[in-house]
Structure 1
Amino acid sequence: MADWKDRLGVLYSTNPDFEYTTEQVEEPDTLEPARQELRISLSKKQRGGKEVTLITGFVGREEDLAELGRLLRQRCGVGGSAKDGEILIQGDQRTKLRSLLPSLGYTRTKG
């Protein structure tokens, strides 16, 4: 990726032995589906009045979140996104998701 973007605004040292390091935030390991506590809600905030179904509470890597988001969007037949531990599904898809998530092993779902 663009390593130089991580260094914007950094003051550089004239010390020839200086080693530049960045802090990497470790992603937590993905919990198995039966241990995930997902919450399903409907949101209209900051979306121009349009409804989105919001799934929160996912604990794990961003790749696994994106994969679950892709699968749910595909099964619901709508668009959306997955980032920052949240999955956004366009429209009111709560009833579909309440039946779909337990079939995928996510039994601790609220909403």
Structure 2
Amino acid sequence: MDLQDQLKNLFPDHKFEEPKQEEKPDVWLQDEPLLCKYEKRKGKPITIIDGYNGAIEDFKKLAKEIKTKFSVGGSFKDDKIIIQGDYRDKIMELLKEKGFNVKRVGG
């Protein structure tokens, strides 16, 4: 039993406020917008996310999160995230929720 539980037992009518913790983004946010492109390679649609100028490890984390969230295949090559399929709208929405500026390119 910790101190908070003991205080709640001693003063059951008092409302305790939990300390608020600010959420820190796990990736570095940038000023320039990320470019979300659509291309076809060998007849298959792909989505390319380009223009990130932070740490490569952060960009790899972002790529992995996108791939697991939408259950799609993809890779990280030449400072670009390549996602199989046309997921521009969903990816742009996810990136905006994370605080990124996103610009749609092509089509």
TM-score, length of structure 2 as denominator length? 0.66
How far did residue 98 of structure 1 move?
1.8
Structure that is richer in strand per residue: 2
Kept in 2: contact 1:42–1:51 (CA 8 A): yes
Task: Describe the superposition over 1:64-106 as per-residue Cα deviations: whole angstroms up to 9, x where unpaired.
Answer: 1111100111111101011221001110001101211111111
1:37 maps to 2:33: yes
Among 61, 84, 87, the alignment partner of 1:93 is 87
Structure 1: give runs of 5+ residues left out of the alignment. 1-30
Does the 8 Å CA contact 2:30/2:52 hold for their aligned counterparts?
no
What SS does the aligned partner of 2:44 have?
Answer: coil
Partner residue, 2:11 = none
Root mean square deviation, CA, Å: 1.6
- Superposition TM-score, scaled by structure 1 size: 0.64
Distance across 2 between alignment mates of 1:110 and 1:33: 15
Runs of 4+ residues over 3 Å off in structure 1 = none
Equivalent in 64, 71, 77 of residue 65 of structure 2: 71
Identity %: 37
